[in-house]
Amino acid sequence: MAERRLALPELDIAPFGTLLADPPWRFQNRTGKVAPEHARLSRYDTMTTEEIAVLPVAEVMAHQSHCYLWVPNALVADGLAVMVAWGFTYKSMVVWAKRRKDGGPDGRGVGFYFRNVTEPLLFGVRGKLRTLAPGRRQVNMIETRKREHSRKPDEQYKIIESCSPGPYLELFARYPHEGWTGWGNEADGGVIPRGRRYSSYGPVAGLAGQS
Ligand SMILES: C[S@@+](CC[C@H](N)C(=O)[O-])C[C@H]1O[C@@H](n2cnc3c(N)ncnc32)[C@H](O)[C@@H]1O
C-alpha cells in the first residue's frame, strides 16, 4: 500500500455527482523524453498508479455518480484498475483525436509501438446511473488541436456537463473552470503551471463550432 494519502476537497458541496480526473501518471521510463518529470522539461511531478488508486475518491462521490478518467494509451490497464479502486465500473470511453489545423491527424505525438494521435477518456459509473438525455446523442469523439503538454481540450467540460450530473469535481486540475471544484497542486488560481504555455488552439478545418 502506498504511504501517501492526499486529502481531497472539503465536502461543502459534496457528494459530487461527477468526477473528471487527469492524473500525473508515472511511466516506467522516467528519464525518457516523454516522461513529464524529464529533467530538461520538468513539466510536473508524477505519482505511481498505487498512489493514485488510494486517493479517497469514493468518500467524496455520490453513490450514483459518473467518472471520466484520462489515461495514456500505454497505461489503459492502470486506468481501469484505478477506476475500480475509486469505486466505479468501466462502461465506455470518449476518444480525443488530436487534429492539425487542416483537420488531419496530428502526428507530433509520441509512442513506442505506434505514434499516438488519440487519447482515451475512460468513462465509469458508480451505482446505476445512465447518461443524461443528451448523452445518447453525444458521439464519443472529441476532435481538436493540442495545446500545452498534457493539457486536455476544453470541449470536455461541455460534453460532461450535458451528459452527467453535478456537482462537478476535477482532480489534478491545472486551470480553474466555472461551475467546477478543482483540486491539484497547480489548481490554485495563483499558481502558474510549469511548462510552455500556448494561448489557444484555434479552429480545425472542417470542424464547425470548435475553437
Ligand atoms: C496531467 S496534468 C493535468 C493537466 C490538466 N488536466 C490540463 O488539462 O491542463 C497533472 C497535474 O497533476 C499535478 N500533480 C502532480 N503531483 C500531484 C500531487 N501529488 N498532488 C496533486 N497534484 C499533483 C501536476 O502538477 C499537474 O498539474
> In this structure, are residues 202 and 154 in contact, taking their beta carbons and an 8 Å threshold?
no
Number of residues written out for the chain:
211
Domain containing 155 equals 16-183
| Model pLDDT, residue 1 | 44
Residue with cell 443528451: 134
Half-sphere exposure of 104 (CA within 13 A, CB side): 3
| Model pLDDT, residue 19 | 97
Residue 17 Cα to ligand 1 midpoint, Å, equals 21
If one counts the domains in the chain, the total is 1
**Helix (H) / strand (E) containing 58:** helix 57-60
Atom of ligand 1 lying closest to residue 36 CA: 1
In a domain, 32, yes or no: yes
> Which CATH number does the domain housing residue 84 bear?
3.40.50.150
Residue 171 Cα to ligand 1 midpoint, Å, equals 8
pLDDT in tens, the chain (211 residues): 444 455 675 555 679 999 999 999 998 766 555 566 555 556 788 999 999 999 999 999 999 999 999 999 999 999 999 999 999 999 999 999 999 999 999 988 888 899 999 999 999 999 999 999 999 999 999 999 988 888 999 999 999 999 999 999 999 999 889 999 999 988 876 555 554 444 444 455 655 443 3
In a domain, 171, yes or no: yes
pTM for the predicted model, two decimal places:
0.87
In a domain, 193, yes or no: no
In a domain, 144, yes or no: yes
Specify which residues 181 forms β-bridges with.
169
In a domain, 154, yes or no: yes
| Model pLDDT, residue 187 | 82
| Model pLDDT, residue 198 | 45
Residue 133 Cα to ligand 1 midpoint, Å, equals 31
| Model pLDDT, residue 164 | 98
Chain centroid to CA 211: 19
156: left (phi over 0), alpha (psi -120 to 50) or beta: alpha
Residue 21 Cα to ligand 1 midpoint, Å, equals 9
Q: Is the CB of 183 under 6 A from ligand 1?
A: no
In a domain, 31, yes or no: yes
Q: For residue 138, what are the contacts with CB-CB under 8 A and spacing of at least 6?
A: 131, 159, 162, 163
Q: Which of 34, 186, 192, 199 to mutate to test the pocket of ligand 1 (most atoms within 8 A of CB)?
A: 186
In a domain, 161, yes or no: yes
In a domain, 195, yes or no: no
Sheet containing 141-144: order of strands: 141-144, 89-98, 118-126, 61-70, 16-21, 168-171, 180-183
Residue 208 Cα to ligand 1 midpoint, Å, equals 31
Q: Is the CB of 174 under 6 A from ligand 1?
A: yes
| Model pLDDT, residue 191 | 55
| Model pLDDT, residue 31 | 59
| Model pLDDT, residue 208 | 44
Q: Is the CB of 143 under 6 A from ligand 1?
A: no
| Model pLDDT, residue 33 | 56
